[in-house]
Amino acid sequence: MLFILEHPREIRFFYAAIIFLSASASGLIMDCPGSIAMGLLITSVIALGASLQNPRIFPWLLFLFIFFMGLTLASRAGQTAPEIDLSFKSGFSGIILEPVEIKNGKIQAITRVIRLTGDSPDFLLNQKILLKINGDKILPFIRDTICFSGKIRSVPAAKNPDTFCQKKYYQNKGIYYASYAQENEIFLNSFAGFHILNFADRISRKLTGRINAIIPDSSAASFITAIFLGDKSGLSQEVKQAFSKTGAAHVLAVSGLHVGIIFGILAWLIGLPGRGSFIRRILKCLAILASIWIYACITGLSPSVQRAACMLSIYVIGRTGNRHAPALNVVGFVACLVVALNPKIVLHIGFQFSFGAILGILLFYQPIKRMIYMPFGWLASLWSMCAVTLAAQVFIFPLSIYYFNQFPLPFLLASIVAIPVTAFLLSGTMAACIISLISFPFAILAGRLLAILYSILFSFLSFLEKWQPASWSTLKMDISQMFLLFGLIIFLVLFLEKRKKYLLVLAGCFLFLFHCAIRMDIAEKSGQRKFSIYHRYQDCVLSIMEGRKMYFFEGDKNSWTDQYLLSPQVVSSRIKKLNRENLFDQYVTYPEFLKYDGHFFWDSIHILIVDDRLKVHENLTELYPADLVVFAQHDPAILEKINCKKGTVAVICASIPPWDRDALRDVCAIYGLPVYDISMDGAFSMTIHNELNDQLHE
């Protein structure tokens, strides 16, 4: 990408930052050993010192040193903590590190252990713990000390394939353990001193109460609280879905957009510190920096907020001293600073989306804007907003498909409406909170106007959501396909701006490689043959995949199964035809398999489902010994009636209570049957290849 930048020598720091970030991400993904990374770093330092007199080799060795430095930081941060599952309760004391969240009447807090009692292992000291409290009456602030008694265990991994992995998400935040406590087991000790995060958390709580008081509509109040303070706990599922499917979800999460709006309001009120006397510029600089960082602390210091606050701080300081630095260097410096403080943040979705959006704007805003000439004032402003939105999507588009398997089509129209409305709501909320200190009735009137504006925005996005197709919701890409799509989009945008044939050739090459990768993935999925039993506490849910056809068996249909079991499987396996059947129907037949009561016959494999709602025919088990026995209910006596052969596997569903699972494992051990416990090991999967060759894996 060097040739697309006008002054490559001026932004060498940006190139170094890209190398550092790439090394950090590679070290975390590949789990590079720390000793190897440190050895490479020391070797690069020695080579760097030996090449000081050689100006041709020195820059390349410097970049190599930066790469190994990022690799070393990532390898040290990537060290995982040991797995534990304490069967006894112990006492702990911890400090609240982040604003608490309230979900379904339960409090969720991030604490750092500062004191242990009982027989708890010593390595838990200074570890971050995800604490879930059953109740919502105790609301601690950041830096408060909380004493609790509970069992500490490792954060559980995802039990079903291709679903959100809570373990991986929290590990990227440096959290490996979780604990659960009742509200009556909690003792809270409030922080007595002064800390900026504690102060900001208290202001956030007061502002939340003030917003709820001046805005009568609870839905509008929850939305404004989310975009102003970053607290999304009160948002309904309908609101989240409307913003997500229309491409306006970035409005809900406090990010650089919101910090930029606050900065614009401050610049309009007091002006930028670029003019006037030195003392006046210093005072403006301090006022703006203090306001930005207090607001960043109030909203929780998410990666996108950190990036925006750091960039604006550098910009304001530069204007105060009449200095200017290339924007790409500033972005690179901020990214390296954030990753150096917390290397795991480079894998955080918010970090990638935030820096991806700002890089897209800096690199492609002007080329996209120059594609269409707008001579008139308001049309030029409208096209500028469209160009910014399109430029931000250059890097967001592949990330959105990779992480969420969807891309909203009306994102441009939604952003054109949502961004100005959000700016007006933020400024109006600030004004209403200030007015409430003087005249509460006028503040309530302002709150009603804000609620009306929110209802108009929500109605507009709901209308866009109903437009079919509102989004591509069945897209799938792996990481290699994502990078190929990156290359295709970048070179295509560059060709439209520069009109160079070699750029079109490069875009065509990336398109060809991307198409080949997709077709190879589809060909692989067309040959899949898999039987799966999923993790679900209420009932037994299973599926049979024959190529890109899926037969899904369940008891009662519900939205949880559709969202967390069926939809991820349909997308990841590229299912083209879906057949949903009732597990308790007596007779189901397809060309690929036959189901008769509790018996599945699939490619010479006999699968037996043990459930009192499904009849087991002993004569069938005599003729066809069971290859797989699936216990959907506790019935160990069934093993005496059925015919098992060598290699038969028993699978215990998660719907069976823990005490019955233990009894079933003991009985299966007597009969010499290997046991797969879905509640412990996650979803069960059996794959068949050309001949009868069953492979068991998680």
Q: Give whole-number Cα distances, 614 to 245, 544, 551, 555, 587, in Å.
A: 41, 18, 18, 12, 11
As given in the structure block, the two tokens for residue 98 are: 């982040």
Residue 650 has pLDDT above 80, yes or no: yes
**Under a CB-based contact definition with an 8 Å cutoff, are residues 339 and 21 in contact?**
yes
pLDDT exceeds cutoff 70 at 689: no
Closest CA to 225 of 241, 242, 203, 209: 209
Distance CA 304, CA 308 (A): 6
Instruction: Please return the burial class of 524, using the count of CB atoms within 10 Å of its CB with bins 0-12, 13-18 and 19+.
Output: exposed
Q: Helix 196-214 vs helix 218-229: angle between axes, to the nearest 10 degrees?
A: 150
Res 696 pLDDT > 50: no
pLDDT score of 565 more than 50 = yes
What is this structure's pTM?
0.81
Q: Does residue 513 surpass a pLDDT of 90?
A: yes
pLDDT above 80 for 496 = no
Task: Indicate whether 144 pLDDT > 80.
Answer: yes
The pLDDT assigned to 474 comes to: 67
Residue type, 355: F
Q: Is the pLDDT of residue 512 over 90?
A: yes
Q: Which residues contact 609 (CB under 8 A, 6 or more apart)?
A: 540, 583, 598, 599, 600, 630, 632
Instruction: Give the SS3 label for residue 377.
Output: helix
Give mean pLDDT, residues 653-675.
Answer: 85
pLDDT tens, position by position, 211-257:
989 988 888 999 999 888 888 888 888 888 888 888 888 888 888 88
Mean pLDDT of 137-149: 86
Q: Name the token pair of 447.
A: 């709150």
Residue 452 confidence (pLDDT): 92
Q: What is the pLDDT of residues 309-346, one digit of tens each?
A: 888 888 888 888 777 777 888 888 888 888 888 888 88
**What is the rounded average pLDDT of the residues 32-42?**
72
* Nearest Cα to Cα of residue 230 among 247, 207, 210, 246: 207
CA distances (Å), origin 107, targets 90, 99, 104, 288, 314: 20, 10, 8, 34, 37
* Mean local confidence (pLDDT), 192-196: 85
Residues 6+ apart with CB under 8 A from 442: 435
Helix (H) or strand (E) holding 44: helix 34-50
pLDDT digits (tens, 9 = 90+) for 53-106: 777 777 777 778 888 888 888 777 666 666 776 666 777 888 999 888 887 778
Is 617 or 119 the better-scoring residue by pLDDT? 617
Asked whether 170 and 142 are in contact (CB, 8 A), the reply is: no
Tokens of 456: 């108009």
At 637, list the tokens. Answer: 């006596």
Tell me the per-residue pLDDT of 440-475, one tens digit each, with 9 for 90 and over: 888 899 989 999 999 999 999 888 887 755 446 667
Q: Is the pLDDT of residue 681 over 60?
A: yes
pLDDT digits (tens, 9 = 90+) for 590-628: 888 888 888 888 888 888 888 888 888 877 777 788 888
**Rounded to whole angstroms, how far apart are CA atoms 595 and 383?**
60
| Residue that has been written with the tokens 């899926």 in this structure | 550
CB 174 within 8 A of CB 344: yes
Directed axis angle between helix 303-320 and helix 327-341, to 10°?
A: 130
DSSP string, 212-265: HHH---HHHHHHHHHHHH---TT--HHHHHHHHHTT-HHHHS--HHHHHHHHHH
Q: In 3-state terms, what secondary structure has residue 340? A: helix
Q: Residue 5: its pLDDT value, please?
A: 43
